[in-house]
Amino acid sequence: MKAYLSLGSNMGDRGFLLEESCRCLEDHPQIDILQKSSVYVTKPWGVTGQPDFWNLALEIETGLSPLELLDVCQKIEHELGRVRIVRWGPRTIDIDLLSYDNREWKDERLILPHPRMEEREFVLAPLREIASGYILPSGRTVSEVRGEGEVSVLNPGK
């Protein structure tokens, strides 16, 4: 199944944490990374007064179920020092499951597609780079939608 993930970090060595998260995902026997966006620098969303985030998006192929994939993502977050104290607060790494095989899913652990992805430019900009034709829950393509917040590509041209 094809899934899209959004990764973000604003604590510690952000570049290392993003790369290590990607490596951990790729090392899983049931996950293949098909596409990886550039890294985007974004201002914090929700809770201001914290360091800028570095964000990227992944398109993956997986044999895992949505909840199994969520468990893998949360295990990686935990291994890389993620502590959940303040909602939308600083974090070493955040791995959000945006979409899974265009399915809808809703339970106490997971809502798919991600309920706020169309509001957040830090999610849309990297996703737009790797999947410009992806159809969002609103019925529009990701290339047609702009979310809140300013983003810039880290090291453009590389």
Q: How far is Cα 104 from Cα 56, in angstroms, rounded to an integer?
A: 23
Is 82 in the active site? yes
Q: How many CB atoms lie within 10 A of CB 64?
A: 19
The string of pLDDT tens digits covering residues 32-77 is 999 999 999 988 876 677 889 999 999 999 999 999 999 999 999 9
Residue 17 structure tokens = 């944490």
Q: What is the CATH number of the domain that holds 27?
A: 3.30.70.560
If one counts the domains in the chain, the total is 1
**Model pTM score:** 0.91
Crossing angle for the helix pair 14-27 and 66-79, nearest 10 degrees? Answer: 140
> What letter does residue 90 receive in the DSSP assignment?
-
Is 13 in the active site? no
Is 32 in the active site? no
Q: Domain span at residue 109? A: 2-153
Q: Is residue 119 part of a domain?
A: yes
From 14, 94, 120, 128, active-site residue: 94
Q: Is residue 158 part of a domain?
A: no
From 91, 103, 107, 116, active-site residue: 91
Residue 63: helix, strand or coil by DSSP?
coil
The string of pLDDT tens digits covering residues 30-39 is 999 999 999 9
